[in-house]
Homo-oligomer: A and B are copies of this chain.
Amino acid sequence: MVPTPARPMNDTNEALASFYAKVDELEKVFIDRLGDAIKIPSISAYADNRKDVFAKQMSEWVATKLKAVGVDVTLKDLGKQEGTDLDLPPLVLGRYGSDPEKPTVLVYSHYDVQPASIEDGWKHEPFVMTVEEDGKICGRGTSDDKGPLIGWINMIEAFQKVNVDVPANLVFCFEGMEETASFGLRQGLEDEADKYFKDVDVVCITDVVWVSDEQISVPQGLRGIIFYLVTITGAKVDAHSGGFGGQISEPMTDMVNIMSSLVDANGKILVPGIYDNVQAVTKEEYESYQKLNISEDSLYGGTGGRSLHDNQADALVARWKKPSLSLHRIENALPGAGAVTSIPAKLVGKFSIRTVPFMKWEDIDQLVRRHIKDRFESLGSKNDLEIECHPNDWFYEEASHWNYQAAIQATRNVWGVDPALTCEGGSIPIALDFKKTLKKNVLLMPVGRPTDGQHSTNEKLDKSNYINAIKLYGAYLKEVTNFWRQSKQNL
């Protein structure tokens, strides 16, 4: 088919309406396309899946589909996985459009998936897409993240089929190692920051979900994490507690003492000064949190956890706006499990602090080290202490940025509701990687729902989320271009 010149996307909604109608019309094609992708078990965690199925078959599938809608594709080789002889799957880079009158949006998604096996308790074969009567599209990767990825291809196709210009220039960055620590991604970003990604104006990541099944949202903040390893060393080898109990200095005694000095049973961090740079929650934020439509199940994620808070706003403030300190484990640091009644000679205690804007991790680290060292010295112990820290910063974007305003407006257009501006308690390291490397505004635009079972059995994506995501992408690009043009005019 030789297309007639595409119509530019105007400020009227007529072009968008015809695009929406085409998306609905192509529903079966789009769902079948997702089914094709689900068939490929692109599990990045398994070395056996890496070389053929994954690096070749899945990345080439994505490249082929992108090329079919006219995307200029480059497969960026990321070399070997550090410390192994395993090939890393390539970054699938793509470029669509280079109109200087449009902004350029970098789109990130990933084509690898979590492991899955019918034996784990799936209702259907995980690598065969099954659409249930109520519209649940089931299969590994439907929600995380093949559905959201393929949505971008579908979006281009729908615009083409109604002969409307895709509203913005697109740069794709599709990764194949997201479920396995994103090995190679950071280096790839750094390599291409001034090359392939040079003209990028904003970033859009579609690897997130709504805050709850009932509450459409756009997250603007993520907590950071400072991970600590505290090592306490006593004897050279584990000792028999019969022979040596009471006679030698025991590292576990110091360890539990130090660990118990960090946080109390109400979740209050006991390290002096740690709350000093934590921003107070505004009355508006607190009230908005209270109004969010979040079921108890979504709020507690099915953990059956015992809440420290009496109402939703307090719980969300604790998750999104306050630092927290969790004690994870105390491990024997010498090889081999000693007898159950031994005195462990060397222990590693692991804990982490979730940080929020605008805590500086270097300051927090100083406070934590001083606190632990003071505590240890007060014990008069004969053991040795070491502290190691692995910081990952929090992420925060102001919602007033036009990239966010575009997402909010697009969500309103497609879903008919204002999305809630929320945060996430956990970290998404890639968001910060993009922000730090490209120094552009990074948007996290949700596609699926928190109960999609992304890392669990019976992963699904609701048909409405899959189809509306395609519309959302188109609407978002239209809004992005409008806001970008306005911001240029305002200069």
Which B residues are in CB contact (< 8 Å) with A223? 242
Give the chain B neighbours of A267 by CB distance below 8 A.
245-247, 249-250, 253
Nearest chain B residue, comparing its CB with the CB of A304: B236
Provide the bound-state CA to CA distance between A255 and B227, in Å. 20
Stretch at the interface among A34-42, A78-86, A317-325: A317-325
Assuming the contacts A260-B257, A303-B237, A307-B248, asked whether A342 and B328 have C-beta atoms less than 8 A apart, the reply is yes
Question: A235 and B305: CB pair below 8 A?
Answer: yes
Known A326-B250, A327-B250, A329-B344: A354·B242 in contact at CB below 8 Å: yes
- Let me know if A264 is at the binding interface, CB within 8 A: yes
Cβ-based interface call for A405 (8 A): no
CB contacts (< 8 Å) of A247 on chain B: these are 267, 300, 305, 307-309, 315, 318-319, 324, 425
The verdict on A248 contacting B350 (CB below 8 Å), with A243-B426, A426-B240 known, is no
* Cβ A382 vs Cβ B234 within 8 A: no
Q: How far is the CA of A302 from the CA of B259 in the complex (A)?
A: 29
A397 within 8 A of B: no
Query: When chains A and B are docked, how far (Å) is the Cα of A91 from the Cα of B318?
Result: 63
Q: A259-B256, A260-B256 are in contact. Are A225 and B242 (CB under 8 A)?
A: yes
CA distance A360 to B109 in the complex (A): 65
Residue A279 at the B interface, CB < 8 A? no
Q: Which listed residue (B240, B260, B300) contacts A248, Cβ 8 A?
A: B300
Which of B253, B305, B344 lies in contact with A249, CB distance below 8 A? Answer: B305
User: Which single member of B243, B249, B308 contacts A308 (CB below 8 Å)?
Assistant: B249
Are A244 and B380 in touch, CB under 8 angstroms?
Answer: no
Q: A245-B267, A254-B265, A329-B332 are in contact. List 5 more A-B contacts (CB 8 A).
A: A242-B426, A306-B382, A326-B343, A328-B343, A341-B352
List, sorted by A's number, 5 A–B pairs whose CB atoms are closer than 8 Å.
A246-B308, A247-B315, A250-B326, A329-B332, A330-B330
